[in-house]
Chain A
Amino acid sequence: MKTGKELKPGTVIKLENDPWLVQKAEFTKSGRNSAIMKTKLKNLLTGYKTEIVYSADDKLEDVILDRKEATLSFISGDTYTFMDTSDYTMYELNAEDIEAVLPFIEEGMTDVCEAIFFEERLVSVELPTTIVRQVDYTEGSARGDTSGKVMKPAKLKNGTELSVADFVEIGDWIEIDTREGGSYKGRAKV
């Protein structure tokens, strides 16, 4: 069983015997310490997509999935091709299937991802918890802060924007925590 709070992209839950893939999950606190999870679900049998809200403590039946290591091979339009590193099999996913991790997918990335299979069909991928990306653009340090507490916006090669420490410069490699939408962790040693 999974609770509403535990839903995340790549989770598959069973509703009336149909498997539904969580494509997106947004957690928000509602009132008096309760919370809700807004999800985007895809029925893996029919392809039907819908938006659903769960209370954080709703109990849901999850489906046990196969997981394999895979790397990104190439991107062609909205199609993302991943390769099973154990047998070199290629699998395709469209952008919507990996909407949650899309901001951190870019050509040439070498991260070893977890490919998620439902009945031998690739349905989603998960990125490692920590990834390293290069800053493509950011303004110069405004205050000369070296504590890492003052933040400023930065852009990655694929256009994704996130907040980084004030001392980060263009061309720096940074570590990103990919959980909950992705956040700056620190400067990476490359």
Chain B
Amino acid sequence: MALNKDSNVYTIAFATIMVVIVGGLLAFVSMSLKPMQQANVKNEKMQNILQAIGIEETNGVTREEAGAKFNKFITRRVTINYKGEIVSDKTANDKIDAQDKLDAFNIDLRKEYSRYVKPIMSRNKGDDAKIQELLSNSTDIHFPIFVCEHGGEKYFIVSASGKGLWDDIWGYLCVKSDGETINGSVFDHKGETAGLGSKISETWFEDQFIGKTMAENGAYLPLSVEKPGKDLNNHQVDGISGATFTGIGVNEMLERNLAVYYNFFKNNPEFTK
């Protein structure tokens, strides 16, 4: 062999050529698959939002058809902050622009939680009043609302995000135009125990929320997940046996997020008209 395989020049040349080839190949693969991957993520989000509405037309929507149906059913996208001020208001005619971070559709539920809510909660552990105060003064936290008009009724899809046993959990719930009755829900999770906590994303669990309300006698009363087998009132749903901590996480997330929406609907009666 003419080449000395152990020489420095050879080693460096080999490494350089390899890096160039591998880098080029990976960039090419990534570039060519990127549109499909982004479409997947976007369509899944649309699918989740549509499924949360809880009307027949959108219940079994697949990821493929979600894109087309989304514009048909969702007529308005609104983003509010903790104080209930509207920071972004778009109609179905405004295209979703990935650069517009305030567009309700571009609000990343997991990031809202891990970046803004979690630090406040863990730093002030145990001092609930302070947490409440800091959270409600924060203008960084955004809450998306998707408005769906269908059959003369208005539906408001709101969101919630929090922490399960292992990792983040989040979901969309649909509130009827009375501002307190739930019409449907969709939950998802990052890494709950498969077969236990992961059941929050199953239909039977999600469907339990239909018809429940988050208010009593005109005051906010959070929805809650109970131990399975208990007698349930109008605010409670059955939990998952063996997944106590996921249930606690769901409760915390629903209580914290829905309160904001409840107050918003209550203080802005013209919005739900």
Do A and B originate from a single complex?
no
